[in-house]
Amino acid sequence: MKVRLTQIISLLLILSGCKSLQRSTARNNTSTTQTTASKKTDSKFLNEVAIRPGEKNSNYIVHSSPASGSTKSVSSNNSSFNLEKADWLQIKYAIMTDMPVEQLNNLTLLKQMDHWMGTRYCFGGDDEDCIDCSAFTQTLLHSVYGIDIPRTAKEQFTFATRIEDRDLQEGDLVFFRTGRSITHVGMYVGNYKFIHAATSTGVAITDLNDAYWGRKYAGAGRVMH
């Protein structure tokens, strides 16, 4: 009887050990699964923005969100233009402006745009900490084209030569008003896009047909003769 009791106790201990082992194994498996899932999430995150060549190197397909399947093309209108040799800033701003890559050939301008992009707005600011709209256009024109213009948006409007919208070119100024006065200015980059320092976004690229800025648009001017 004592032998049987000893055997039963031993069996219970073995079973108890097995259950503990199962729980431990389950926890380890769960941890491994979570780690694997985390790695997959990281991989997915890293793939949120991807650029791959399109057919016959005529364009690039940009996958901005694999989950939604949304894509955007970076194209070239020139069949002899090799996108593989394009500067990364050309690719980046072709995406942001919906322009053919070869039209974005002013690398000095692109570098300046990239340097200032996202800089916060502050009235009267004129450096990398914060900058206002007219100081930004003044800085761009001086840095990229070696042209000096007045400081305020109103003075720049008076200084520039009026041009029609259909004649807009890179480097032209676009002006906006609230009420009767010119209160805002940006620089045209192409495809009805302009770069400016705005109170809500800081330095950013915006479309002239934007719901807000389109209503405030007052005209364009040229300072490069």
User: Domain ranges in the chain?
Assistant: 38-105, 106-225
Rounded Cα distance, 117 and 195, in Å = 9
3-state secondary structure (DSSP) of residue 55: helix
What confidence score (pLDDT) does residue 224 get? 84
Looking from the CA of 8 toward its CB, the CA atoms found within 13 Å total 5
Q: Where are the alpha helices (DSSP H) in the chain?
A: 2-46, 88-97, 107-116, 133-140, 153-159, 213-216
Q: Token pair for residue 32?
A: 């491994």
Q: Within the chain, which residues score under 50 in pLDDT?
A: 1-9, 11-70
**Which of the following CATH numbers is that of domain 106-225: 3.10.290.20, 3.40.50.720, 3.40.47.10, 3.90.1720.10?**
3.90.1720.10
Q: Which of 65, 67, 24 is nearest to 48 (CA)?
A: 65
Q: Are 160 and 222 in contact (CB under 8 A)?
A: yes
Interstrand relation of 70-75 and 173-178 (parallel, antiparallel or unpaired): unpaired
**pTM for the full predicted model:** 0.68
- Given 63, 115, 130, 133, which residue is catalytic? 133
Asked about 184 being catalytic, the answer comes back as: yes
How is residue 142 annotated by DSSP? Answer: I
What confidence score (pLDDT) does residue 61 get? 38
pLDDT tens digits, residue range 139-153? 999 999 999 999 999
In sequence order, what are the residues at sequence separation of 6 or more whose Cβ sits closer than 8 angstroms to the Cβ of residue 189? 93, 97, 109, 113, 170, 195, 205
Count H helices, E strands: the chain?
6, 9
How is residue 30 annotated by DSSP? Answer: H
Q: Are 156 and 142 in contact (CB under 8 A)?
A: no
- Given 122, 142, 184, 225, which residue is catalytic? 184
